[in-house]
Amino acid sequence: MREPTDTEPAALCLTAPAKVNLSLRIRGRRRDGYHEIESCMQTLELADELCCERRPAPGFALELTHEVEVGLPVLPDADNLVLRAAAAFALAAGDDKCGAQFRLTKRIPAGGGLGGGSSDAAAALLLLNALFGTPLSAHQLHELAACLGADVPFFLSGGTQVARGIGDLLEPVPDAATPRFHFVLIAPPFGTSTAAIYKNCKAPLTEPAGTSTIPGGNVLSDKGLPVPDRPDAFINELEASAMRAHPELEKLAADIALRGFRDVRMSGSGSTLFLAFEERAAATAAMQRLASLREAGVHLEQTETERDPRRSRRPAAPADDRPGLHPHMGDNRGGAR
């Protein structure tokens, strides 16, 4: 791996956006246990922030700051995806002396189907590749990301993409065809296990050649985008599985419907629910009508479709007024889920 020059930055930062699944259909279950899906995913303005600084000693360390308290716990331990991504990067780059320190600010609820951990992992790969002289090509980064999790390759570029297969076959949606929404995210005070939700999903085995075994009409356009004039356009076929596992999630969805929002949907494998609006004012009004849910520990977040995914994937030097990364953080160990 090429040594960075004195003119290259020693520290870089990157936003790690959340995502919603505008649609998610289960196309069948493979014999290896994985599920075949078809999903339209879109990144949001809501994002974690990950900063990374080179250090002379080999190995990686992480400082973790939480700005949201709902969802599954995120710990700075060896299972954290930021440090798993860093270790995989060093191995792929062939450098056992690679060393860096991370600072992660968590704003995305963990275990909520918003992809926070996967996005953090993708950001770690992009930051390390930029800090250490770009030893890996875009293709190599994609392959490395796929080894870390099905959603991680998506977050390398973000935007709006249609995912097929087990989520690893990605087709970007052209900007001109990208639907843009204002969202209200409704995150209950608990997360869900992706593995458990998929295991609880009643999908038959996929037939040869990938033929879908799931009956029913398709509400997707030929690009996998929700058809806006269909009431069932925003569909998630994992919802029934998640609500069987978590009856309190079904109760929350029913409560939201009673407040006038019957088109509430779940993102990914849950537990976050969302409402999508074409106008910001409608999303703001929904936030006000749902405000009392906070009394039950529900986290509400207003956000929108990510405005400029290409720009946000370019690492930037920390702002001058941003606190630096401190050497004493090197004793911390872990990463982000």
Catalogue the active-site residues. 19, 151
Kindly state the DSSP code that residue 17 receives in the 8-state scheme. E
Nearest-CA neighbor of 53 among 98, 94, 91, 118?
A: 98
CB 163 within 8 A of CB 244: no
> Which tokens in the block code for residue 83?
């440090």
Phi and psi (nearest 5°) for 166?
A: -95, 15
Cβ-proximal residues to 276 (8 Å cutoff; 6+ apart), any chain: 20, 22, 181, 182, 183, 234, 263, 265
Residue labelled with tokens 């991370």: 102
User: To which residue do tokens 């537990």 refer?
Assistant: 271
Angle value at C-alpha 61, between 60 and 65, nearest 5 degrees: 145
Q: Identify the H or E element spanning 288.
A: helix 280-289
In angstroms, the CA 241 to CA 26 distance is 12
Q: Of 292, 281, 303, give the one whose Cα is nearest residue 255.
A: 292
Return all residues near 153 (Cβ < 8 A) that are at least 6 apart: 122, 142, 145, 146, 168, 170
Query: Considering Cα of 34, then 265, then 170, then 124, what sign does the dihedral take?
Result: negative
Token pair 């790690």 is found at 16
Beta pairing, strands 99-106 & 59-66: parallel
* Whole-angstrom distance, CA of residue 253 vs CA of residue 162: 26
Tokens of 228: 């806006």
Give how far Cα 295 sits from Cα of 292, 299, 300, Å: 6, 9, 11
